[in-house]
Structure 1
């Protein structure tokens, strides 16, 4: 046997061994962004997600006794790099977590071919709520149309919106434009004027032009769909131009503690909708501290841990883990594949009792998913900056799904037609 033959045989054996090892783990990769202009918001989210999975590995031996491999592939929030990471990981992955609406839109057409579920918790293409059309995509527990509806609900609770003017300050990116169909529909229904003001990727840190326009428009409210450096830039400009912060409200990705700490007391009154609450008394925090942080397995710090985004990261991994557990129980196997995980994500029952059992008390509202309902629509709360931290400032809000169900169905049908042939699951019940 020649040296090259020996090397070839060794490579085959190594490949078989590696394949066997991979078969005994749950490969749940994350398309992370710890670098680039969105790193400030990405890091606490990624830390929360990683720490929850590390806790499950250390405390429980994984999920169902199978260790989790939650490795990250760095995208820098770049759509191009995100697609590269997707292609790199899809061979063994049983889920993909794009972490960008732009990346989600790029991998969405691949989902029916590759048959890997997309978990885009709280982001992505809102019509993904229609599970019969988007069989492999989940934006559990809430989509951007849910967020837009709840924000308008809250503002209307402060008084009629008839004749009012609302600026939609948004990142000039698929993410920022995503809520426009529902906001436009609500503007027509409730009689307010909607003024979209985009912020380019190169303008995120210097929004003087946008805030000059806001001063000229003199809106009653500013609703912000911001992310990363854009949020800090907007909050700083709002304070500088003396915009009343109590009339400034953002999507759940614009409610990051570190952004508001830049202005401190001057930011008091700023709000954001949120599907999560960082309840530091929830048992999960103690378990993470004991099994992960004290063991030197975390990249977080005490300040970050208290924030909204770290807690949300914990919840996103908890939702994914619930999908895995649901599939393991149904298919009576601990090592599941991507198709089985899709079923699991369609059959999550995050009841109050289950939330408490998981140690997530007070952090998220109950929700259920189904074959047709890939969002869950858990609702959320208004969080308000008190000068030092975000605090709950409203009762639980739930989205008026019926008001945009037809819009979602229409958008889903248009997407399917534009990407034909597009398989639709006709067996799904027509309820959300």
Structure 2
């Protein structure tokens, strides 16, 4: 099919380097969490990621003639177990996928020594956007500071935020604290009061104290940076306390269909910013069904496949596959190493035309990366729960990165100084 020809580069590579040089397998381990308090959200994401790579192996014989070993190492979302998984898998890996901001922060200092790219799509440490400092870390297509900015843009489009109060309901974890610098910047510049309300790991399913505070403070909006069981608990409490759902907005990890199905129609109006969308009519979905689902090679089910998180998992693996393909074509070998993959991830150019070729129209916004820009800043859509499913409720919102570019640079410099000696990409300038 036309939209998939660019991924099947084996023939071209065979011409350039000879079939004897074609790799047998590329090891791209995933530090998964199908168990623990975040399993309900982890499972559909892991299923989507695995199914995309399985499709490439089944349909195309992998990428460029190399099959993909997408082994999972179970972390239960535990930072300690995540670091153990990283150490266990790093030997042959060409990439590591930490799947937790906490794990990412622990692995990040190791990157300059181990020289293995971190791929953390839509999560991790926001200053990783600066590829001149974090040469081995990527959080494309959008980072948490992008997400915070897009949410504030959306709220401001409904009217001035001057004098308003925004409650920031967040997991008391590195992930939940990540957007605070941009939220605080906007609060100062736009004149609204920011009210941080942390939720401890042991409070996720019982947030009565937090929602008592919300009832008492009566904020104009609640912005949620939640994950796993926290989201379901918050959405249930919001309905119970009759908080207006149209004024309740979450980050992309707080837009899980199963959480909203717990309240159904009562959740109507709840919104979540998102850099992915489950377009069930996309050609990719038919390819997944033919080569993976019908072949009995997936752990997913029909209901899960229709959700935001399964579709996001597909997008994540598609981004990794693009990086692999880029590296293979540039270096003339299917048997790429971690350093070559870093180049491939620094040269993503997911244009609208390429998205259509991949059969993913409407599933991810266009974006590109460079040696200096490891995030891409793709923008996102505001998704809204219509009582039964999430629908697109906005045009593409682009983050105003210039507004917090200094924050990115200063935080990156501070990190490098604190972790000195810290190797940088001296060949890359911020203009690249």
TM-score range, shorter chain: over 0.9
Query: How many Å separate the matches in 2 of 1:333 and 1:347?
Result: 17
Report SS of the residue matched to 1:384.
Answer: strand
Report SS of the residue matched to 1:377.
Answer: coil
Partner residue in 1 for 2:204: 204
Aligned residues: 413
Query: How many Å separate the matches in 2 of 1:166 and 1:298?
Result: 42
Q: Is the 2:328–2:335 Cα contact (8 Å) retained in structure 1?
A: yes
Report SS of the residue matched to 2:382.
Answer: strand
1:233-252 alpha-carbon deviations (Å, 9 max, x no partner): 00000000000000000000
- How far off its partner does 1:427 sit? 2.2
Partner residue in 1 for 2:83: 83
Query: How many Å separate the matches in 1 of 2:410 and 2:28?
Result: 32
Partner residue in 2 for 1:295: 295
Query: How many Å separate the matches in 2 of 1:428 and 1:219?
Result: 45
- How far off its partner does 1:424 sit? 1.3
Partner residue in 1 for 2:35: 35
Partner residue in 2 for 1:244: 244
Report SS of the residue matched to 1:202.
Answer: helix
- How far off its partner does 1:65 sit? 1.2
Unaligned residue ranges in structure 2 (runs of 5+): 1-19
Q: Is the 2:23–2:66 Cα contact (8 Å) retained in structure 1?
A: no
- How far off its partner does 1:429 sit? 2.7
Partner residue in 2 for 1:371: 371
Query: How many Å separate the matches in 2 of 1:394 and 1:352?
Result: 18
Query: How many Å separate the matches in 2 of 1:424 and 1:335?
Result: 26
Query: How many Å separate the matches in 2 of 1:23 and 1:415?
Result: 37
Partner residue in 1 for 2:114: 114
RMSD between superposed Cα atoms in Å: 1.2
Unaligned residue ranges in structure 1 (runs of 5+): 1-19
- How far off its partner does 1:425 sit? 1.4
Query: How many Å separate the matches in 1 of 2:283 and 2:92?
Result: 33
Query: How many Å separate the matches in 1 of 2:397 and 2:23?
Result: 42
Q: Is the 2:23–2:65 Cα contact (8 Å) retained in structure 1?
A: no
Partner residue in 2 for 1:16: none
Partner residue in 1 for 2:58: 58
1:80-119 alpha-carbon deviations (Å, 9 max, x no partner): 0000000000001000000000000000000000000000
1:2-34 alpha-carbon deviations (Å, 9 max, x no partner): xxxxxxxxxxxxxxxxxx9x9621101100000
Query: How many Å separate the matches in 1 of 2:290 and 2:130?
Result: 40
Moved over 6 A (4+): none
1:207-261 alpha-carbon deviations (Å, 9 max, x no partner): 0000000001100000000000000000000000000000000000000000000
Q: Is the 1:373–1:431 Cα contact (8 Å) retained in structure 2?
A: no
Partner residue in 2 for 1:318: 318
Partner residue in 2 for 1:415: 415
The structure whose Rg is larger is: 1
1:245-292 alpha-carbon deviations (Å, 9 max, x no partner): 000000000000000000000000000000001101111100000000
1:26-83 alpha-carbon deviations (Å, 9 max, x no partner): 1011000000000000000000000000000000000011100001000000000000
Partner residue in 2 for 1:162: 162
Report SS of the residue matched to 2:398.
Answer: coil
Partner residue in 2 for 1:187: 187
Report SS of the residue matched to 2:202.
Answer: coil
Partner residue in 2 for 1:349: 349
Superposed, 1:215-364 pairs within 5 Å as 215-364=215-364
Q: Is the 2:168–2:196 Cα contact (8 Å) retained in structure 1?
A: yes
Q: Is the 2:101–2:175 Cα contact (8 Å) retained in structure 1?
A: yes
Partner residue in 2 for 1:392: 392
Query: How many Å separate the matches in 1 of 2:55 and 2:146?
Result: 31
